[in-house]
Structure 1
Amino acid sequence: MRALTLHLKVLIAILVTLGVLITAYQIFVQGIPVTEDETDDLWNIDAKVEFQAASKGPVKLQMFVPPLNQDYVSLNESFISNNYGVSINRVDGNRKVTWSARRANGNQTLYYRLVLTKRYSGEKPKEKGSIFRDSIAVSGPEKIAAEALMAPIRQHSADVETFISETIRRVNNANDDNVKLLMAGDASTPNKARIIELLLSIAHVPMERVHTIRLVADQPQTPELWMRSFNGDKWLYFNPETGEQGLPADRLVWWIGDENLLTIEGGKKAQVTFTLNNSEMNAIRLAKLTDENTDVDFLEYSLYGLPLQTQQTYQIMIMIPIGVLVILILRNLIGLQTLGTFTPVLIALAFRETQLGFGIALFTIITALGLSLRSYLEHLKLQMLPRLSVVLTFVVVLIAVISLLSHKLGLERGLSVALFPMVILTMTIERLSITWEERGAGHAFKVAIGTLFAATLAHLLMMVPQLVYFVFTFPAVLLIMVGFMLAMGRYRGYRLTELFRFKAFLKD
């Protein structure tokens, strides 16, 4: 007996642990939304390229576009142009689009459009970088100024991260004479980045320039310069103006390196205008789109990977254990008497089509009339099989009559009564009549009310949209429910109704 108890406890622990871990993995690692109403941002970015082509000559224009290998994934990318060839190449971790035309004349306009969202999968590709670089050659007063700045930087830093932060802080000190000499009157962000890179190269610390776009709707945007360095484990991002560390969540990396955003041959006065707007989309639908546009396929092996019609069927089927759990609690803990375990659940499923109020009325009418017929047939001394056949036929005729009358009266909801399982109704009538004979009309009435109450409660729970979504999206919660059902299987205590029945004994 002890071995059996230990076996049951181990089995319950395994099932509950598996259910919790799988569900937690889907929520926290894969990022699947917990509620159906949850929405996520969808960003639309338009880059408008304008330039003036040379007189009827060939034109070749190149522009960096986002690499999309970090926190964002592209849902749609399009290149809009007239009579231009388009090609995309990868160069040093960047992506570059090339528009080319044999002949172009006058003002030209090209568009690059990108629709993106946050990457859902927790498995983001890891990038690696160099941890050493050669020193940039410098001489004369610039060399003396750089070495003078390096001494306090080394003194006030402990690792690569603090070394870079201290370097940026020193370079942004406009009152330092050494900084003024290196600046040479140019306090622009690119020049500051050049001096930061120079100082870091003396310490053999590599640094890359990162050009980002801020994801803010309905505001004109220009590329913002950041810097980054690889510390052997991850990339560290820094703002060269403020020394702020860590790339903000609303920044999209557009390209990396010292090159300009645009290069053009056969044209002049090229400029890019960025326009951004965002919208919201249902989170699970967005997760599906993300799944289709990546190689991860984290929803492929979920129930969302089934055909749509099959999904609708499983959304009904997967809620049956919820109804069964309700009946189990009502019977084993509360002590409610019903006609078996599954009959109330099947009646609850029928309520999906008839709606609750109409379904209860129809169930009551058909069961009452069926019981009357069953009582009459009892006087004929028929065997069980012929008796059930007659009751089943009567139920079919009764359902047809009710549907016809409902249609004539304009109550179209009555047509759905045909979806009531006829066999279930027949067996319900048969079992109620037997209960009536064996234990009296009062007990049969109590069981009928209990069955109807349990079916109603199960139906209400099985129809909660949030619960349907959660169980369908995270089916591993059914393992937790099975663990609870197994635990309930060894419950031998008093039911709630029995506490009222035997309260006199408890007082004694």
Structure 2
Amino acid sequence: MRSINLHLKILIAVLVLLGASITAYQIFGLGIPITQDETDELWSIDAKVTFTATPHVPVKVQLFVPPLTQGYVSLNESFVSNNYGVNVSRVEGNRQLTWSARRAKGDQTLYYRLVMTKRFGSDKPREEKGAITRDPIVLPEGPERLAAEALVAPIRQHSADVETFISEAIRRVNNVNDDNVKLLLNGDTSTSKRAQIVDLLVSLARVPLEKVHTLRLAAHIQQNPELWLRSYNGKDWIYFNPETGERGLPSDRMIWWSGDGQLLTLDGGRKANVTFTLDSSQMNAIRLAQLTNSSVETAFMDYSLYGLPLQTQQTYQTMIMIPLGVLVILVLRNLIGLQTLGTFTPVLIALAFRETGLQWGIGLFTVITAMGLSLRSYLEHLRLQMLPRLSVVLTFVVVMIAAISLFSHKLGLESGLSVALFPMVILTMTIERLSITWEERGANHALKVAIGTLFAGSLAYLLMKIPQLVYFVFTFPAVLLILVGFMLAMGRYRGYRLTELVRFKALLKED
């Protein structure tokens, strides 16, 4: 017995020491901030390229990537592929990434990842100068030429310089009711076609115009590159929205490439597609400045959870908080003496609360469980076996979830739609175990266990949603080793629980 105790103590000490040492090295050795105070935005951009390779044919994939001369600082740029050669070259002022392979077969997936920040870039984008004049686009004699000239004449009258000329041209081209515009558009009212007509009109005045394709820095939304127009006035680039004529590129736009070239070109394959995933996180501003000129960035980005794909990171930010939720339940049960339906049921309920919110979650859990208990009581009179009974209750839970979601949607209570996130099997087993507890130990004890489960789940939810704690555990996952050591220590606790003071209160009075 002594050898087991000694072994356990040594194991606890090793885990606590290892977790504390790794965390201390990250904080004091690598200088990673322990809080999100004085933070700056760190953007991670994933461009996912998918296509189907043609058998026995060389594959060449070309993708435009950002020029990184817009006041941004790149912390990490990586190209993820399997058995592909990678090369980045300059093409007409753009950076073009080329993946190549002698042979490829079946569906292919390639990734381009850029991790960057804007704070420590130059205040003003370092962009190359552009042309200040150009040759006009020559149109043959015909109705298109007459329509273009008819549009240019009033544009000249209502403009005073290059900026106002382009804005007026955009405004008139977007008036699709104009007969001249209709003729030039020829039934195609897409943004790219209208930009082409604007380019034609301004060329007749020898005004330079260039297409730029931008990405909006917004996390967790699906988007495609957005087309903007720009012109060089001899000093600066002036940007225009081709749909509204608005001047000035918004601060949340990042130029991906410029010109008429296609974002993606593919030789030796088909069904090519590009999807963008953007995510933002916060990092200490002072440390971020150091990372821009330090090799520590490689170790931090590649050998931490921040090196995972973005979607995986978002999943782990939730998963990595589960041990803290379990620790809450462990303390409530072993030290305080709170009675719950097992250890993991309150934690799973807490995970559901992350989407439903605490008030809605408690209400939905209470309604579904109460109605499920009523059904379970009815089924008990039919003397069914356990498996058929559980199947009926599970089906009832699914129907209840669907019904609550439907009625919530009809009543405009969108929060009720998140009831579908409740784990159906957990609800079913909760109903079954509460029913058995009711039969064996009475309604009061079953109600006490149900309230304890809800209380424990709510407390775990409140802890697991603290942003500062989520950041700390995600950035320093070694602290979980310290939690494991604490859990091992609690595993040998045989002392009194706080609630037992109430149980023995009568004996104290007699003494």
Say which of 422, 425, 434 aligns to 1:423: 425
SS in 1 for 2:432: helix
**Where does residue 21 of structure 1 map in the other structure?**
21
Aligned-residue Cα RMSD (Å) equals: 2.8
Contact in 2 for aligned 1:38/1:282 (Cα 8 Å) = no
Post-superposition CA distance 1:111-159 (Å, at most 9, x none): xxxxxxxxxxxxxxxxxxxxxxxxxxxxxxxxxxxxxxxxxxxxxxxxx
**Where does residue 237 of structure 2 map in the other structure?**
none
Matched, 1:493 2:510: no
The letter of the residue matching 2:381 is: H
**Where does residue 328 of structure 2 map in the other structure?**
326
SS in 1 for 2:499: helix
Post-superposition CA distance 1:312-346 (Å, at most 9, x none): 00000000000000000000000000000000000
State the TM-score, normalizing by the size of structure 2. 0.52
**Equivalence map 1:306-321=2 (5 Å):** 306-321=308-323
Contact in 1 for aligned 2:38/2:285 (Cα 8 Å) = no
User: Unaligned stretches of 5+ in structure 2?
Assistant: 43-70, 72-119, 131-280
Post-superposition CA distance 1:371-393 (Å, at most 9, x none): 00000000000000000000000
- Separation in structure 1 between the aligned mates of residue 34 and residue 9 of structure 2, nearest angstrom: 29
SS in 2 for 1:5: helix
**Where does residue 367 of structure 1 map in the other structure?**
369
The letter of the residue matching 1:20 is: A
Say which of 403, 406, 410 aligns to 1:404: 406
**Where does residue 193 of structure 2 map in the other structure?**
none
**Where does residue 233 of structure 2 map in the other structure?**
none
- Separation in structure 1 between the aligned mates of residue 285 and residue 306 of structure 2, nearest angstrom: 10
SS in 2 for 1:494: coil
Distance change in 2, residues 1:284/1:313 (3 Å): farther
Matched, 1:376 2:390: no
Contact in 1 for aligned 2:16/2:485 (Cα 8 Å) = yes
Distance change in 2, residues 1:76/1:3 (3 Å): farther
* CA deviation after TM superposition for structure 1 residue 308, in Å: 1.2
Distance change in 2, residues 1:4/1:424 (3 Å): same
Contact in 2 for aligned 1:344/1:451 (Cα 8 Å) = yes
Size of the aligned set, in residue pairs, is 283
Distance change in 2, residues 1:458/1:82 (3 Å): closer
**Where does residue 299 of structure 2 map in the other structure?**
298
* CA deviation after TM superposition for structure 1 residue 488, in Å: 0.4
- Separation in structure 1 between the aligned mates of residue 392 and residue 315 of structure 2, nearest angstrom: 32
Distance change in 2, residues 1:25/1:75 (3 Å): farther
User: Which range moved further: 464-473 or 281-290?
Assistant: 281-290
Post-superposition CA distance 1:429-460 (Å, at most 9, x none): 00000000010111000000000000000000
SS in 2 for 1:396: helix
Distance change in 2, residues 1:421/1:41 (3 Å): closer
SS in 2 for 1:366: helix
SS in 2 for 1:283: strand
Contact in 2 for aligned 1:75/1:293 (Cα 8 Å) = no
The letter of the residue matching 2:299 is: F
Distance change in 2, residues 1:285/1:352 (3 Å): farther
User: Which range moved further: 289-298 or 373-382?
Assistant: 289-298
**Where does residue 2 of structure 2 map in the other structure?**
2
**Where does residue 465 of structure 1 map in the other structure?**
467
- Separation in structure 1 between the aligned mates of residue 311 and residue 41 of structure 2, nearest angstrom: 28
Post-superposition CA distance 1:189-242 (Å, at most 9, x none): xxxxxxxxxxxxxxxxxxxxxxxxxxxxxxxxxxxxxxxxxxxxxxxxxxxxxx
**Equivalence map 1:239-250=2 (5 Å):** none
**Where does residue 144 of structure 1 map in the other structure?**
none
Task: Point out 4+ residue stretches in structure 1 off by more than 2 angstroms.
Answer: 37-42, 74-83, 281-296, 503-508
- Separation in structure 2 between the aligned mates of residue 440 and residue 424 of structure 1, nearest angstrom: 22
**Where does residue 230 of structure 2 map in the other structure?**
none
- Separation in structure 2 between the aligned mates of residue 385 and residue 285 of structure 1, nearest angstrom: 57
Contact in 2 for aligned 1:75/1:290 (Cα 8 Å) = no
Post-superposition CA distance 1:359-416 (Å, at most 9, x none): 1000000000000000000000000000000000001111111111001100011111
**Equivalence map 1:138-177=2 (5 Å):** none
* CA deviation after TM superposition for structure 1 residue 286, in Å: 7.4
**Where does residue 452 of structure 1 map in the other structure?**
454
The letter of the residue matching 2:30 is: Q
SS in 1 for 2:477: coil
Distance change in 2, residues 1:307/1:504 (3 Å): same
**Where does residue 439 of structure 1 map in the other structure?**
441
User: Which range moved further: 359-368 or 74-83?
Assistant: 74-83
Distance change in 2, residues 1:482/1:79 (3 Å): same
Post-superposition CA distance 1:154-208 (Å, at most 9, x none): xxxxxxxxxxxxxxxxxxxxxxxxxxxxxxxxxxxxxxxxxxxxxxxxxxxxxxx
Contact in 2 for aligned 1:354/1:417 (Cα 8 Å) = yes
**Where does residue 219 of structure 1 map in the other structure?**
none
- Separation in structure 1 between the aligned mates of residue 479 and residue 469 of structure 2, nearest angstrom: 11
State the TM-score, normalizing by the size of structure 1. 0.52
Post-superposition CA distance 1:29-60 (Å, at most 9, x none): 11111112333799xxx9xxxxxxxxxxxxxx
* CA deviation after TM superposition for structure 1 residue 499, in Å: 1.6
Contact in 2 for aligned 1:75/1:289 (Cα 8 Å) = no
- Separation in structure 1 between the aligned mates of residue 286 and residue 423 of structure 2, nearest angstrom: 38
User: Unaligned stretches of 5+ in structure 1?
Assistant: 47-73, 84-280
**Where does residue 188 of structure 2 map in the other structure?**
none
Distance change in 2, residues 1:81/1:342 (3 Å): closer
**Where does residue 30 of structure 1 map in the other structure?**
30
Say which of 335, 347, 350 aligns to 2:349: 347
- Separation in structure 2 between the aligned mates of residue 79 and residue 378 of structure 1, nearest angstrom: 76
